[in-house]
Amino acid sequence: MRRLVHRFMAGHGPADDRDLTRWSTLTLGQVRPALADLESGGQLTRVELDGAPLWYDPSAPARTSRCPGALLLSTFDEATLTYARTGFPQSAKHLDRTRLVSQSGGGTVLIAGVDVGLWRRTVTADRVDVQVRPEVALAPEQVQALEDAAAAFGRFLKRDASLTVDAVPA
């Protein structure tokens, strides 16, 4: 138990106890004593974000990779599922898109680490068409970043790719 909790926080931290329970089959009753034990033993460090505790492994190497300009995350991507409370900032905070994301057939669009809308894809034998539904107006360089992300997705699928960016809803 301790090892699983430690490994999760080392690889995903800073994260909270609920992030871990969403990712695993563990309960809060199992996770919390392990977190307390690891914290008191110095293997994990606790920080606060908006009054909520988060844990991380201070000995884990710092992440040095840079986030590409745009990411097309799938509905079930670990990054969106694991960090429910502390996830990516949303450009349109008033929207509850939980149901919409699952119906999109694609997932969440991130630009510079900000959730700006939804995307879906249509895959045929020789191509993939990516459709983005932004919730905010996008600058030309942001659309170019989406073009790059769609092209990378096409290369992954070994297909030509096209991108359509819908108008922002009024």
Which residue ranges form the domains of the chain, and what is each CATH number? 2-56 (1.10.10), 70-165 (no CATH)
The per-residue pLDDT for 150 is: 96
The answer on pLDDT for 79 being more than 90 is: no
- Per-residue DSSP letters for the chain? -HHHHHHHHHHH-SB-HHHHHHHSS--HHHHHHHHHHHHHTTSSEEEEETTEEEEE-TTSPPP-PPPPSEEEEETT-HHHHH-TTT-PPBSSTT---HHHHHHHSEEEEEETTEEEEEEEEEE-SSEEEEEEEESS---HHHHHHHHHHHHHHHHHHTSEEEEEEPPPP-
Q: pLDDT band at residue 52, thresholds of 50, 70 and 90?
A: confident
Q: For the chain, how far is it from start to end, CA to CA, in angstroms?
A: 49
Rounded average pLDDT over 25-46: 94
Position 93 pLDDT exceeds 90:
no
pLDDT above 90 (res 57): yes
